[in-house]
Amino acid sequence: MLRILVGLLVLLNLGYWTWSQGVLADWGMWTQVQHQQEPERLERQVHPERIRLLAADAPEITAPVSLGETAVVLSNNEESTTGTTPVATDTQTTSAPASATSAAEPSKTLADPAASALAAPSGLGCKQTAYFNEKERPRIEALFKAALPEGSWMLSPVPQPARWIVYTGKLSGAEAVAETKAQLRELKIGYRDVPTALQPGLALGTFSSEEAAQQGVRDVARNGYKGAKAVMERQEYEIYTLRLPQVTEELKIKASAVLSKQGEGKAAKNWQTCTE
């Protein structure tokens, strides 16, 4: 049985190969197989080498087109944007409509790099230098109003938080201050002098809030020093920084000259990029 099946398979394969090679077509059998063979199939193809690409503004071709030759009209826009090879579907010559030329024109133009460079501002951005307190502000404003154009400079306020200290005092006198310093050194607790309004006394720590200063008092007590308390050394206040929002080299030189005349030589050289 197995031999019979193998024999049938061999015969079937041999018959298919004979049919696929067109051998049976010579006997008038299954001639449709020739439609799949060369060269008949190639003769019915459109020859790509005969295709001609015409621009959108090209004049209409009136000469007859040979068999298999197709004239394809492309607009400039199609040719530049699609980037694909057109497929000819008609053997008749076609021409682009009058609106094709205007539609093919690009809607945007490339910017000229040279023109962009000329249009770009020559400024150095925002620069700042020097800080002035509330007492100095009126004098500085008057000087810059006289020397620089309006709107080219500004004094920008910078809030400064209140400052709290762990304070011991007021002590009875210089001798008491000296004895307290010796005691603090023995306990390895740091200290510094205080403003005149709080003298005689010492600051054993500096903090930005009352809560932090109160914790400092407790820390000092654990280290062996009793009697300190939390005191505000200074209230919240503002200082002012000089800014040139859209500075140019010429404006920077003028502002530096004003600062130098006021004894602010370091600030005149220490221009920095503005912070938020």
Has residue 31 been placed in a domain? no
Instruction: Give the tens place of pLDDT for each residue, 145-204.
Output: 988 898 889 998 988 889 999 999 999 999 999 999 999 999 999 999 999 889 999 999
Which domain range does residue 195 map to? 164-230
pLDDT at 55: 60
For the chain, give percent helix, strand, coil, nearest 5: 40, 20, 40
Residue 219 confidence (pLDDT) above 50: yes
Has residue 30 been placed in a domain? no
What percentage of residues in the chain have a pLDDT greater than 90? 26
Max mean pLDDT range (119-128, 139-148, 224-233): 224-233
- The residues near 247 (Cβ < 8 Å, ≥ 6 apart) are 123, 124, 125, 126, 127, 255, 271
169 and 225 share a domain?
yes
71 and 175 share a domain?
no
Has residue 245 been placed in a domain? yes
132 and 268 share a domain?
yes
Instruction: Give the tens place of pLDDT for each residue, 5-18.
Output: 888 888 888 877 77
Which region among 1-15, 19-33, 106-120, 126-140 has the lowest average model confidence (pLDDT)? 106-120
180 and 214 share a domain?
yes
Half-sphere exposure of 7 (CA within 13 A, CB side): 4
Read off the pTM. Answer: 0.43
